[in-house]
A and B are shown apart, each in its own frame.
Chain A
């Protein structure tokens, strides 16, 4: 099956700082790649996705690029807000397998 390694948290940033959360994966075949976000006390929501090499997923100011050569899908945002405080999960998924979720990275943004 697939596996994923995410940057360990927690990550604490000041408002308007630049965010990077690293994610690398191992997978058989050619997986799709997802970032999910979980706000306190809630379920997960899809944040963005990419389905082939060099694709860039983007949503709400967040971006991640599918890097096949480095098997990475790092999440970035240029200027974080307090409302971005949440737990972020990276998840590769290939055809015959369910999604494999990373352990999650908790982000706290302080005013």
Chain B
């Protein structure tokens, strides 16, 4: 079955540690996205990638980094510079970049930093 996988579902880290969240898709989509979801704030875009080997900052990129070395993979690193990293993180993909295109979402990773 085609889809997006995120792992792990729950992640716990100590403050000051970097952590990498995995996102893989087998939909052959060019564009991929990372969102952060906090209660009552909807989804906020962290980074996006229109095509392999390219990525752009979204609205709240500070304290995060990404790579896009393969079409199917778009890992997100939450660095120690991110002031409030505890959140639910969602990865998505679409066939092409652009708002006309439906985005497909993974099941999410809930990160807790203490």
Q: Footprint of B on A, CB under 8 Å?
A: 2, 31-32, 34, 36, 41-46, 49, 51, 89, 92-104
Contacts and interface: CB of A to CB of B under 8 A. Distances in A.
Interface string B12-44: 000000000000000000000100000011110
Interface string B81-109: 00000000010100001111111111110
Contacts of B100: 31-32, 51, 93-95
Interface of B: 4, 6, 33, 40-43, 45, 48, 58, 90, 92, 97-108
B90 A44 contact: yes
B45 to A, nearest CB: 6
Q: Across the A-B interface, give the 4 residue pairs with the lowest CB-CB distance, nearest first.
A: A93-B99, A43-B105, A103-B42, A101-B43
Contacts of A99: 99, 103
9 contacts: A32-B100, A46-B103, A46-B104, A94-B100, A97-B98, A98-B99, A99-B99, A101-B43, A103-B42
A94 B97 CA distance: 10
Given A42-B107, A44-B90, A2 B99 contact: yes
Does more than half of chain A's interface fall in helix, strand or loop, or is it mixed?
A: loop
A95 B100 CA distance: 6
Contacts of B97: 98
B11 to A, nearest CB: 14
A45 B107 CA distance: 10
